[in-house]
Chains A and B, each alone.
Chain A
Amino acid sequence: MIKDARTDLPDVLEADVAIAGGGPAGIALALELAERGRRVLLIEGGGQQSPNGGTSIYDNTTSGRDYPLTGSRLRWLGGTTNHWGGWVRPFDPRDFTDAPAGDLPGWPITADALTEGYRKAAAWCEVGSADYDTDRIGLERRARLLDLSGTGFEHQVFRFSPPTRFGTRYGAALDEAANIDCRVNLNLVELQQTEDAVQSARAVTLDGAACTLRARQFVIAMGGVENARFLLNQDRIPGNQSDLVGGGFMDHFGFTPGLMLADAGLQYERGQIAGDDLMTVMAPSQGTEGPHSCLLVTSTAPDDVLPPAFWTNRTSGDAPGAHYRISMINAPTAHRQSRISLSADRDRLGLRRPHLHWHLPPTEFEPVIALFERWMDGISARNRARVRWTRQNAPTLADNVGVGYHHMGTTRMAAAPEHGVVDPDGRVWDRENLYIAGSSVYPAAGFANPTLTICALAVRMAAHLDQRLGA
């Protein structure tokens, strides 16, 4: 049942599991637990529809490299799935196993731990297939692509969600589930804690009504920024034994290094392969030095320095040529100083507002540029393209850098408490019944968009919590 807390709010709400945050993590987790027969309380700070600009709760400040923090957050049921583009891809096995750049460790789990999660996540995100194996898909047989053999790069694919707006798509399921109590316009503001557990929590509406939440397990699923902000706002900050709550903020960042002249009619873009909604990218193969970034290929108008006719020459392509823009989605590096902290200013709920310091110095682009150069030399050496290298230097701090609106890493998962906030199950290290769901637990991110993995982790967490709750 979905109820508006502004008009219907008892003094106490009780459940087996209380989840704060009605984005993809919270909704998938609630419905997965309900399916297992658990009593779930799901609270969402926003309403069921867009507040049409009424998101002042999310006002913030930033420093470091410019970051569009306000516009990248949405505060109503469904969270940021209300504006996502639907790009879907699981993290690669190497994203879980490779040691990331920087001084913070990577994932404490392997891709195998999410196999079942990814299978069900494909259904949550309404993706037609969970298959990303390019051989099984027959990608290079079905699409006209560059021959990458011997270049150290390989083709990978993104799939697409409709995109599923989780609040709209699963609103009816939340409303009809007898064992889900979903309250909108209800904000989690405080945890009542002992040394090692959460006893209860306090939630309020914007007009001042309050209630106590009681549950055996509590899950914070409020988003990549808000999860850290909420924890930092507590008198005793859970999971902050290593000062990592808020630290390690990451987002996929973009870079457009140049153009390519290659065979005409290459089919990399979405919508080019009949019968399958795919987009193909190029990514470094296992063993190729550099970040696990990817290169996107987009058709563009002919260049006037090296026109398509050049490609018809026997010593180049010996075929009709065309130009393509090459852009990159880059794996971010987690840095402690890239972090969410609190400003002195408070919102209407009395919580201190977030301040983001985004640490993305020009040096972060050096391995990206080196990777591009590696690809460029590989593809040119095999005479499969010529490349116009238009961005040979890293953007300065004043330059605008494209981002994915993917807030990650601020309550990172780790194998040991000194390296993170939550354990491999998503449980806050020093609280036995407090969990964090969402992309804030990612310690590394590759180039794949986060939503599918958010859902996969939620599926995995549901199984874990169900087991912990017992018979």
Chain B
Amino acid sequence: MRRRDLLQTAGLTFVGLQFGLLAGCGNDSGRSLAVGPDDPEALETLRSLAGRLDGIEFVGPVCVDEVGETEPLDALLERLRATSAQSLENAFSIALEQDFSTGDRIDIAGWQLARTECLLLAAAATNQGLRDPVLAQQGNLRFEDFASIERWGPDETIEGEVFNPIGNGRGGFWIRVAEPVPGSTRLMLDGVELATHFEPGVVTASLEPDHMDRIIATAGMVPLVMVDTARNIAQRVGYLTVRPRPPAAILADGSSSAVFCEVERWGPDHAPKGQAFNEQPDGSAAFWVRIGCAPPGSELVLDGTPLETSVRTGLVSARVPHYAALEAGPHRLTIRDPASGESLEIGIFNVL
């Protein structure tokens, strides 16, 4: 069995450093932006502000080129003065609004910034010694519990068997959570992000067909992780166990089944007449069959009568509502796959 290391997942190229930068955010130190644009301290206040700007490693240097001002702070101050606002803060807001309202935007790799803020960013880049644009670095995922997981599934399948199928070769997981999780949460299986959806109390996630094929191709244990992509933190959910595929069942004509694995055990194989065998909570009777694989639409058939059947990984069960009417003697139990038409003998159930 293969065991994959969760730490491998932790090293994924995902999310990053940014959360760390948020710690202690809110640059309240330094000069107040309450000074007016005409105040003698205005220029120095803007310079101080520019020196404290974060997250500008890429856009700052680009703004230097885009605005083309040798003294961007002077140009900025001139804009702010034109607003007639009484404080730098208000002036900046007004200028920003005017820029966006009039389409005076600077496009940086698609990001639409106001010319006014680009002037500030250009000054900031110069002030901070940023010459060439640098993309933000992605950091390591760190592990921390952020969701209250109650139950999840499925936690096992067998080689080649799509688990929890939802059609078109896709399958997926469900996770019951006690509290809503952040919208930035994604499930990751074996390091691959899954399409993640939220319903009240439940997070679901599905695998694309190619990913599913890869996962179920080999027996082993595959780590399932829940990641808050915005904060770059992860929480272990558990492992999906892919069990080795049991041998194919042998059909009545001696050929190998294309859909059923060997039956491991089944029961009950006998019961007194009129007795609810393997009695269920509602008083009815039921068969169980431990079988390595069976298609989801399979049904147990007793003497040619299909039974209401439930198929789970490794287990097929069916209620027998008419148990009281079964005559004494042998009754033939089979399992049938309507899609392929294959039928496999389970055994003889004897009513005593």
Residues of A that sit less than 8 Å from B by CB: 52, 83, 160, 258-259, 264-277, 298-316, 318-323, 376-378, 380-383, 386-390
| 7 residue pairs, one from A and one from B, having the closest CB atoms | A271-B198, A310-B55, A309-B55, A299-B184, A312-B25, A381-B100, A309-B21
Asked if A299 and B27 make an inter-chain contact with CB atoms under 8 angstroms apart, the answer reads no
Residues 43-85 (chain B) with a chain A CB within 8 angstroms: 49, 52-56, 58-59
Given A308-B21, A319-B25, also A302-B136 (CB < 8 A): yes
Instruction: Tell me if B180 and A305 are in contact (CB < 8 A).
Output: no
**Across the interface, do B18 and A302 meet the contact criterion of CB distance under 8 Å?**
yes
Bound-state Cα–Cα, A259 to B110, Å: 9
Is A320 a contact of B339 with CB atoms below 8 Å? no
Partner among A300, A314, A378 whose Cβ is within 8 Å of the Cβ of B184: A300
Place the interface of chain B in its size category. Answer: 35 or more
B183 within 8 A of A: yes
Contacts of B230 in A (CB 8 A): 264-265, 299, 301-302, 308, 322-323
B253 in contact (CB, < 8 A): no
Contacting pair B136 A307 (CB below 8 A): yes
Question: Contacts of A259 on B, CB cut-off 8 Å?
Answer: 110
Main secondary structure of the interface of B (DSSP, over half): loop
Cβ B339 vs Cβ A271 within 8 A? no
Q: Do B103 and A377 touch across chains, with their CB atoms under 8 A apart? A: yes
The B178-200 residues at the A interface (CB cut-off 8 A) are 179-185, 197-200
Interchain residue pairs with CB less than 8 A apart (21) = A52-B338, A83-B167, A259-B110, A271-B180, A271-B198, A274-B200, A275-B200, A277-B199, A302-B229, A304-B137, A308-B55, A309-B55, A310-B54, A312-B27, A314-B49, A315-B96, A316-B117, A321-B22, A381-B100, A386-B111, A386-B113
Docked-complex contact A312 and B22, CB < 8 angstroms: yes
Chain B residues with CB under 8 A of A273: 180
Q: Say yes or no: is B327 at the interface (Cβ < 8 Å to chain A).
A: no
Q: In the complex, which residue of chain A has the Cβ closest to the Cβ of B228?
A: A299
Say yes or no: A299 contacts B110, CB within 8 Å: no
Residues of chain A contacted by B138 (CB below 8 angstroms)? 304
Q: Which of A264, A312, A315, A377 contacts B21 (CB 8 A)?
A: A312
**Residue B109 at the A interface, CB < 8 A?**
yes
Tell me the complex Cα distance, A316–B111, Å. Answer: 14
Complex Cα distance, B58 from A377, in Å, reads: 22
Cα-based distance from A232 to B123 in the complex (angstroms): 68
B220 at the interface (CB under 8 A from A): no
Give min CB distance, A378 to chain B, whole Å: 8
B111 with A381: CB separation less than 8 A: no
Q: Could you tell me if A274 and B180 are in contact, using CB atoms closer than 8 angstroms?
A: yes
* Closest B residue, CB atoms, query A377: B100
CA separation between A309 and B26, bound complex, in Å?
A: 10
B339 touches A52 (CB 8 A): yes
Residue pairs across A and B with CB atoms within 8 Å: the count is 169
**The one of A272, A386, A388 that contacts B198, using a Cβ cutoff of 8 Å:** A272
**Residues of chain A within 8 A of B52, CB atoms compared:** 313
The listed residue with most B CB atoms (<10 A of its CB), out of A259, A270, A307, is: A307
Cβ distance B38 to chain A, nearest Cβ, rounded Å: 19
In the complex, whether B114 has a CB less than 8 A from a CB of chain A is: yes
Q: Does B114 contact A311, Cβ atoms closer than 8 Å?
A: no
Q: How far is the CA of A83 from the CA of B167 in the complex (A)?
A: 10
Taking the closest CB of chain A, its distance from the CB of B250, in whole angstroms, is 26
**Known: A304-B58, A322-B184, A380-B100. Contact between A386 and B112, CB under 8 A?**
yes
List chain A residues, Cβ under 8 A from B27.
312-314, 318
Q: Which of A274, A312, A382 contacts B26 (CB 8 A)?
A: A312
CB-defined contacts of B54 to chain A, threshold 8 Å: 309-310, 312-313
Contacts of B110 in A (CB 8 A): 258-259, 305, 388-390
Residues of A within 8 A of B232 (CB): 302
B208 at the interface (CB under 8 A from A): no
B172 CB, min distance to chain A CBs, angstroms: 14
In the bound complex, do residue A270 and residue B197 qualify as a contact, i.e. CB atoms below 8 Å apart? yes
Q: Is B132 in contact with chain A by the CB < 8 A criterion?
A: no
B4-26 interface mask toward A, CB cutoff 8 Å, 1 = contact, 0 = none?
00000000001111110110011
Given contacts A308-B19, A322-B230, A389-B112, contact A268 B183 (CB under 8 A): yes
Report if B258 contacts A (CB, 8 A).
no
Q: Is B221 an interface residue (CB 8 A)?
A: no
**B-chain residues with CB within 8 Å of residue A386 when the two chains form the complex:** 111-113
Residues from chain B with a CB closer than 8 A to the CB of A307 are 16-18, 21, 55, 136
Contacts of B182 in A (CB 8 A): 265, 299
Q: Kindly report which residue of chain A lies nearest to residue B19, judged by CB atoms.
A: A308
Chain B contacts with A in 75-130, Cβ cutoff 8 A: 92-93, 96-97, 99-101, 103, 107-114, 117, 120
